[in-house]
A and B are shown apart, each in its own frame.
Chain A
Amino acid sequence: MNKLTKLFITFISAITLMLSSMSSSFAKVDGEYIVLGAAISLTGKYSSNGVHTQNGYNLAVDRINKMGGVEVQGKKYKFEIIYYDDESNPKRAAQLAERLINQDGVKYMLGPYSSGLTKAIAPVTEKYKIPMVEANGASRSLFTKGYKYLFAVLSPANQYLEVAIDLAVEKNGGKPVRIAQAFEQDAFSQDVRLGILDAAKRTGSEIIIDDKLPKELNDMAATLAKVKATKPDVLVVSGHTKGALTAIRQIAEMKVDVPMLAMTHCDAAKLSKQHGKKSEYALCASQWHKNLSYKDKFFGTGKKYDKDFKKEFGYAPPYQSAESSAALLVFKDAFERANSFDGDKVRDALKTTEMQTFYGNIKFGPGGQNTAKPMILFQVRCKGDTCENKVVAPTKWASDKFYHPIPKWSERS
């Protein structure tokens, strides 16, 4: 046997030893810690929302641990999360889910950011029977596959902007409206589109522009030029944070006059801060707003959550953070009711969840979606140079009246 072969064999056995000692160094419950796994987009196109998600998780973990942790069979446990960066890529996310489960021995998962990534992870958690509470995968198709271990604290994507169409019809004196819409080519936005199609059918409204936006969304001038020419009653845009920012920027640049503008992701994009008065009158779908009257014993009210979050991270929490925090409250509640660490028992407990959090009521439907919480709409309104998001629908929580139609650019100062 020559030198090289020896070297080769040594190398292989070294790796073998290293790998086998690495396997399952964590367990589902490690001492006083309950270990949760999460793949989060810390880089890539979803990185800003990924960080919102992570901050939401971390805030809730800190809060729950500080307030006594989780009590299972008379013993107090603390939460701990293992994070990986999924690079905003479904392929990577699926691979990391396997890694969390097989190598890190994680038995309970938290969701990633975005529907596409959740879609990639769900088959894996389902295969290993790992309960996953997710807070950022809203695509309807997630809840129609018959997944048994997937629970979402948020309302499905198709409900995001349906209400906006109803509102437009109402403002139009009950008559059908003409809709222009542009959606990013991804699972979430395409589902929002399906919701609009349903609403249009229901109200007899006509869709005059139905554009698709690329994933690397930096320009939608072509759509806006068409909007200028055809003058629809309502313009609907959805393309995550980048979509919201691009739309507002270009609508202002091109001075596109449209009576009503409905969007998603306004608060994650910090529209009112980034674009100030240019973003005024934009109507936004949101899962949560701090002014809602829900509360729980960990975070108190939405307003208090808003304050605590600002103190910790230095910016106002978008709903992506709020729903992520809520996911941990759901897990805590389920562990305590299951009074066990058995995956199936925890899953059964999750299934019968019925609770109120600062984020909203949570009760899971047969597909795993949250059926107890309505979507809300807010409108960006400005006083002087400071702009704020004001809730305008549903009427129960509305703090302001819905302003319609949007004044023409020539009349705006």
Chain B
Amino acid sequence: MDKVKQKDLILYSGLIILGLAAPFLFPGFKVQLTILCVLIVLAMTWNLQGGEMGYNTFGNILFYGLGMYLTASVQVGMFFPLAEWTESGGEKTFVHTTSQYFQGMGVGLLVAALVPTIIAGAIGYAILGLRGHYFAICTLGLGIAAGEIAGGIEIIGAGQGFTTPPFPKDIVDPGARGDFFYFLSFVLLIGTFVFIKWIYGSRFKLILNAIRDNEDKAEAMGIQTMKYKIVGWMVSAFFAGLAGGIMGGLIGYIDSTDVAFDGREMGVFMVLMAILGGKGTLWGPVIGAALFHFLKEGFWTLILGWQYVALGVLIVVIVIYFPEGLMGWLREKYPERFGEVIDEKDRKAQVELK
């Protein structure tokens, strides 16, 4: 038992050091690394529903988009009239001071975490009664509807899009913006990972699994499944909202359907990454997201114009050869290393009972 822990400790501290050093080792890749962190967060939170709970949601993009719009709106709205900012597209040039920028960002991210969580609770209450395909289709509609609605709201720029506040001019170093967003997303990644790892060690995860494996039986055992489903979705919404807020600031321009409620890309990617790595595992989404991002950035440019064909082939290959994802494949191949760890004492106790 102790040996396992020590191994984990080496692994985690190694990864954290790597994460902290990454922007200095590869200064040119800061933006890609930032996006990688956000992708991992999205894949991990999707995995809570799709992997652990067995509810394939396409709706998590809703929280991501909401977080993006909320952060930017709060950041602007705290100091300047929001309507004028978006309507004029900056015609009256408003400039955030350094402290205003960071204060706005902080409060914005707070709102971006809380509001989607509440909305997830409300929507979850309404639609988590649906199961299987019905739930998937319903959540697919959520993202699309949100995009169309946001595209019609003038105060957040409607179809014109929303330019988020530029990074303060007083900070002269051109690398500072990249560092800021990288470390912000890295902190979010660590937060998300620690929280989800904690969930993995808790009864909560077992209940989610019970829901996935047989919801009716779980209910018959006296578990209030609805409550757990809603809470699970709220956890995802919390982190997805934060991820969206960070991405909005990083990209600098929010478009209703192409950037924020981007179900066609981000919405599908988060599912794909979790499946690629192996859904229903802690490390699966992390590995899946890293591999996916690496492939996307590495090979996309080599096959200019054909990248989506390649992506299609990749999906087919994953589904045929790695139906359980990479982690699932590893588990099958090396069960002693990657398989489910059964507590030795527990096993003995069960044997004795017999």
> A residues bordering B, Cβ < 8 Å?
4-5, 8, 12, 16, 19-20, 23-24, 42-43, 83-85, 87-91, 94-95, 98-99, 102-103, 116, 119-120, 123-124, 126-129, 139-142, 144-146, 183-187, 189-191, 212, 214-215
Docked Cα-Cα span, A252 to B247, in Å, equals: 44
CB A89 to nearest CB in B, in angstroms, measures 5
- A99 & B148 in contact (Cβ 8 Å cutoff): no
Say whether B213 faces chain A, with CB atoms less than 8 Å apart.
Answer: no
Closest to B306 in A: A43
- B89 is contacted by which of A8, A84, A127, A145 (Cβ under 8 Å)? A145
Could you name 27 residue pairs across A and B whose Cβ atoms are closer than 8 Å? Answer: A8-B11, A20-B26, A23-B28, A43-B307, A89-B258, A89-B259, A90-B161, A90-B255, A91-B251, A91-B259, A94-B250, A98-B30, A102-B30, A116-B161, A119-B161, A127-B166, A127-B167, A140-B89, A141-B163, A144-B89, A183-B159, A189-B159, A191-B160, A212-B151, A214-B148, A214-B151, A215-B159
Say whether B289 faces chain A, with CB atoms less than 8 Å apart.
Answer: no
- B177 & A212 in contact (Cβ 8 Å cutoff): no
- B18 & A141 in contact (Cβ 8 Å cutoff): no
Q: CB within 8 Å of A: which of B236-289?
A: 247, 250-253, 255-259, 262, 265
CB B175 to nearest CB in A, in angstroms, measures 9
Docked Cα-Cα span, A183 to B151, in Å, equals: 12
Interface segment among B69-77, B202-210, B297-305: the answer is B297-305
- A98 & B31 in contact (Cβ 8 Å cutoff): yes
Q: CB within 8 Å of A: which of B58-98?
A: 88-91, 93
Docked Cα-Cα span, A169 to B248, in Å, equals: 44
- Binary per-residue interface labels of chain B (109-136) against chain A in the complex, 1 for a CB within 8 Å, 0 otherwise: 0000000000000000000000000000
- B35 & A43 in contact (Cβ 8 Å cutoff): no
Q: CB within 8 Å of A: which of B163-189?
A: 163, 166-167, 174, 177-178
CB B306 to nearest CB in A, in angstroms, measures 8
- A5 & B148 in contact (Cβ 8 Å cutoff): no
Say whether B25 faces chain A, with CB atoms less than 8 Å apart.
Answer: yes
CB B301 to nearest CB in A, in angstroms, measures 6
Closest to A95 in B: B31
- A144 & B174 in contact (Cβ 8 Å cutoff): no
Q: A85-B307, A215-B151 are in contact. Are A123 and B160 (CB under 8 A)?
A: no
- A85 is contacted by which of B30, B89, B252, B300 (Cβ under 8 Å)? B300
Say whether B308 faces chain A, with CB atoms less than 8 Å apart.
Answer: yes
Residues of B within 8 A of A189 (CB): 159
How many residues on the B side are at the interface (Cβ–Cβ under 8 A)?
50
Q: A90-B161, A90-B259, A146-B90 are in contact. Are A185 and B307 (CB under 8 A)?
A: no
Docked Cα-Cα span, A8 to B166, in Å, equals: 39
Residues of A within 8 A of B177 (CB): 127
Q: A90-B161, A183-B159, A187-B161 are in contact. List 4 more A-B contacts (CB 8 A).
A: A102-B29, A127-B174, A141-B160, A185-B257
Docked Cα-Cα span, A247 to B93, in Å, equals: 37
Q: How many A-B residue pairs have CB under 8 A?
A: 145
Residues of A within 8 A of B35 (CB): 95
- A123 & B25 in contact (Cβ 8 Å cutoff): no
- B258 & A123 in contact (Cβ 8 Å cutoff): no
CB B182 to nearest CB in A, in angstroms, measures 12
Residues of A within 8 A of B148 (CB): 214
Docked Cα-Cα span, A144 to B89, in Å, equals: 7
- A212 & B152 in contact (Cβ 8 Å cutoff): yes
Docked Cα-Cα span, A347 to B158, in Å, equals: 33
Docked Cα-Cα span, A23 to B158, in Å, equals: 38
- A89 & B88 in contact (Cβ 8 Å cutoff): no
CB B83 to nearest CB in A, in angstroms, measures 14
Docked Cα-Cα span, A394 to B337, in Å, equals: 77
Docked Cα-Cα span, A215 to B147, in Å, equals: 10
CB A412 to nearest CB in B, in angstroms, measures 34
Q: A42-B304, A141-B160 are in contact. Are A16 and B25 (CB under 8 A)?
A: yes
Closest to B256 in A: A185
Docked Cα-Cα span, A12 to B10, in Å, equals: 15
Say whether B32 faces chain A, with CB atoms less than 8 Å apart.
Answer: yes
Docked Cα-Cα span, A27 to B179, in Å, equals: 23
- A99 & B163 in contact (Cβ 8 Å cutoff): no
- A145 & B30 in contact (Cβ 8 Å cutoff): no
**Which 10 residue pairs across A and B have the least CB separation, nearest first?**
A141-B89, A185-B159, A102-B28, A123-B252, A145-B90, A120-B253, A98-B31, A144-B91, A42-B305, A103-B28
- B255 is contacted by which of A95, A116, A145 (Cβ under 8 Å)? A116
